[in-house]
Amino acid sequence: EAGVTQFPSHSVIEKGQTVTLRCDPISGHDNLYWYRRVMGKEIKFLLHFVKESKQDESGMPNNRFLAERTGGTYSTLKVQPAELEDSGVYFCASSQARGFNRELFFGEGSRLTVL
């Protein structure tokens, strides 16, 4: 069974440009999460989808970040325009159940470098 896949694995862009990260969750997982790790900091929650609906987007830094989940399958996270402080590793995770069952399956991450 395929795990959570993320694309691209690494992206280098100039400040002011746009980048779109993609996440394909494990098939059948309704819950999809985005997290981010900025260098030297802890992994931080960005948002949570249940199927195609945003359940919690309290961690999104600002309105330069837009997340979508088309048809409840894959998800994209767009950063427009990118700023230097957006550099970091963006992780996607998925899970089948909610609530107290928190076995999240993480992808390998998309490393974003903004120059």
Residue 10 or 15 with smaller CB distance to another protein:
10
Smallest gap from residue 115 Cβ to another protein (A) = 21
Residue that is written with structure tokens 């309105």 in the block:
63
Smallest gap from residue 81 Cβ to another protein (A) = 26
CB-neighbour burial class of residue 114 (10 A; exposed 0-12, middle 13-18, buried 19+) = buried
Contact 9, 3 (CB under 8 A): no
Binding site residues, another protein, CB under 8 A: 4, 31, 33, 35, 41-45, 48, 55-56, 58-59, 91, 93, 98, 100-109
Residue 59 or 81 with smaller CB distance to another protein:
59
